[in-house]
Amino acid sequence: SLLANVGHCKIGKRIKIHADMALSESCRRYHPSTMPHYKLIYFDARGRAEVTRQLFLLAGQEFEDVRLSKSEWPQHKSEMPFGQLPVLEVDGKQLAQSHAIARYVARQFGHAGKTPFDEALVDSIADQYKDFDTEVWPFFAVLLGFEKGDLEVQLEKTFAPARDKLFTFLTKFLERNGSGYLVGDSLTWADLLLAELDTYSEKIPALYEGFPEMRAHAGKVRSDPILKKWIECRPSSQF
């Protein structure tokens, strides 16, 4: 295995990533002395595994970041619980579905919400984001070259209405909460999920048009020193 960390970002297809940083006070409560071995399996992309990667980095928790190529995937597909990725292995036990994985890791390291009600609010935002993700897929399929089509038409008819709906809802969360985060007074995995959209801001210049609060939210989340360093040197990928 190649070794990578947010300080050096030596990247390979099958790597161990660790953050050489002290755990925050909020994380220590969720960080037992003997930690399991974590292996995150996904494609060589940010995609549906990126939030979980960021959660591990924020916690200072070493994990194995296995990135399968398209040619490697068919031989491993039958090994996965639902025949899809991502999959998280915890001491060899498999957990599938991206939101279930992110929620589990967030709970382990204190980024799921500080109260049961806050956890439910975070989950509700993640579920709403999943609806958005489904709605905008026709646009991203064209943007990323998976399908042919008129990108401007998809932007206007598919992406913009879904973006407006989601961002209007979440702006209200930010205004009511008042901390700069979507829920509570600290970062949760819902914040990471939404802020990762900022990756597309160069390809979608109007991403935050009419929603300055969402732009500020992404800036706040991505200004975290650990995340900032990771974003600067993480493996480049189309999505």
State the sign of the Cα–Cα–Cα–Cα dihedral 237, 53, 179, 184.
positive
89 secondary structure, DSSP code? E
| Residue partners of 159: CB distance under 8 A and separation at least 6 | 136, 139, 204
In CATH, what class is 116-222? mainly alpha
- What percent of the chain has pLDDT above 70? 86
What gap in Å lies between CA 9 and CA 119, rounded to an integer?
32
Cα–Cα nearest to 163, from 202, 126, 131, 203: 131
Could you tell me the residue ranges of all domains in the chain?
2-111, 116-222
β-bridge pairing 2-5 and 14-18: parallel
Residue 7: pLDDT over 90: no
For the stretch 48-86, pLDDT in tens is: 999 999 999 999 999 999 999 889 999 999 999 999 999
pLDDT of residue 27: 38
pLDDT of residue 15: 52
| Residue partners of 28: CB distance under 8 A and separation at least 6 | none
For the stretch 134-153, pLDDT in tens is: 999 999 999 888 899 999 99
**If pLDDT is split at 50, 70 and 90, which confidence band does 203 have?**
confident
Q: What are phi and psi of 64, to 5 degrees?
A: -95, 125
Give mean pLDDT, residues 116-143. Answer: 96
pLDDT of residue 11: 41
For the stretch 25-54, pLDDT in tens is: 333 334 444 679 999 999 999 999 999 999
In CATH, what class is 2-111? alpha beta
The residues with which 15 forms a beta bridge, in sequence order, are 2, 65
Residue reference for tokens 């008042």: 178
| Residue partners of 108: CB distance under 8 A and separation at least 6 | 30, 59
